[in-house]
Structure 1
Amino acid sequence: MIKPVVHDPAILSQVAVPATKLNAQTVTDLLDTLQANAENCVGMAANMIGVNQQIIVVQMGPVAVPMVNPKIVAHQNPYQTSEGCLSLTGERPTQRYKQITVAYLDRNFQPQRQTFNDFIAQIIQHEVDHLAGRLI
C-alpha cells in the first residue's frame, strides 16, 4: 500500500529498531511507496513512511531491492557530495564511500552480504543514515 511520506524531522531523527518477520508488510508498503515516487526518489527507509523499523528499499536499475536490518560492514574510497531527500527540502553536503559491503536480510529474511559501488552505494548509505536518525 502506498503510504504518505513523513516530513517531520522529529520523527525522522529517531533511531530505528531491528525489524522482524512481523514487519514484512512494511517491505511491501515501502516498495509501493517508492514506485509511486519514482520520479523523485531512488530509495526509502521505513521511517520515511512512519515505521520505526530497520528496513530500506533501493532502486537498482529496473529492480527495487529491499534490505532488512542492513549494516554497512566495510567501506572504502571516501568522497564529498551533496544529496537531496524526498522527506526534506534542499540539498546538504555529506561524505560517502564509493564502495561499501552490506550485510542484510532479504525480503524472505534470508541473510545476504553484498558489495555495492558508486551511486547504488550512495543510495544505500543515505537510507542507512535514515535508520540511524541522521538527516541528510
Structure 2
Amino acid sequence: MQRPIMTSRSFLRMPCAEAGPGDESVARDLVDTLEANRSRCVGMAANMIGVDKRIIAFVDEEMDGRISVMFNPVITACDGAFDTEEGCLSLDGERRTLRYHRIEVDYQDRRLRARHATFTGWTAQIIQHEVDHCNGIVI
C-alpha cells in the first residue's frame, strides 16, 4: 500500500528501532511507495513513510534497476570519499554531503537472514543516504 511521505524533520531526526518479525508489511508498503515515486526517487527508508524501523528500499542499479530491501542495514566499511549534493523526497532542495564510492553492508533479508554485500557507485550512494535516514541523519 502506498503511504504518504513524512516531512516532519523532528520525526526524521529520530534514530529508528531495529526491524524484526512482523515488519514485512512495512517493507511491502515501502516498496509500493518507492515504486509510486520512482520518477523522482531512487531510495526510501521506513521513517519516510512514518514508520520508525530500520528498513530501506532502493533501486539497485547492479540488479538492472530492481528494487531491493534491507532490514537493519549497517555500513561496515567504506572507501573512496567524495563530496556531492543530494536531494530527498521528504525535504525541499539539495544539501552537500560526504559519500563513499564503495561500501560494505551487513543487513538482514526479508526473512531476517544475515547478509553481507559490497556496493559501488550510484547504488552505494543511495544506500548511504537511506542508512543515514535510519540513523536519524537528515541530509
| TM exceeding 0.5 | yes
Structure 2 CA distance, aligned partners of 1:68 and 1:6? Answer: 19
> Structure 1 stretches of 5 or more lacking a match?
none
What is the correspondence of 1:1-136 to structure 2 with a 5 Å cutoff?
1-61=1-61, 62-136=65-139
Q: What is the CA distance between 1:66 and its match in structure 2?
A: 0.3
The letter of the residue matching 2:82 is: Y
Structure 1 CA distance, aligned partners of 2:10 and 2:131? Answer: 17
Q: What SS class does the counterpart of residue 15 from structure 2 fall into?
A: coil
The letter of the residue matching 1:85 is: C
Structure 1 CA distance, aligned partners of 2:77 and 2:32? Answer: 30
The ranges of structure 1 where at least 4 consecutive aligned residues each deviate by more than 2 angstroms after the TM superposition are none
Report how many aligned residue pairs link the two structures: 136
Q: What SS class does the counterpart of residue 11 from structure 1 fall into?
A: helix
Structure 1 CA distance, aligned partners of 2:37 and 2:53? Answer: 20
Could you tell me the TM-score, scaled by structure 2's length?
Answer: 0.96
RMSD of equivalent CA atoms: 0.6
> Structure 2 stretches of 5 or more lacking a match?
none
Q: What is the CA distance between 1:21 and its match in structure 2?
A: 1.2
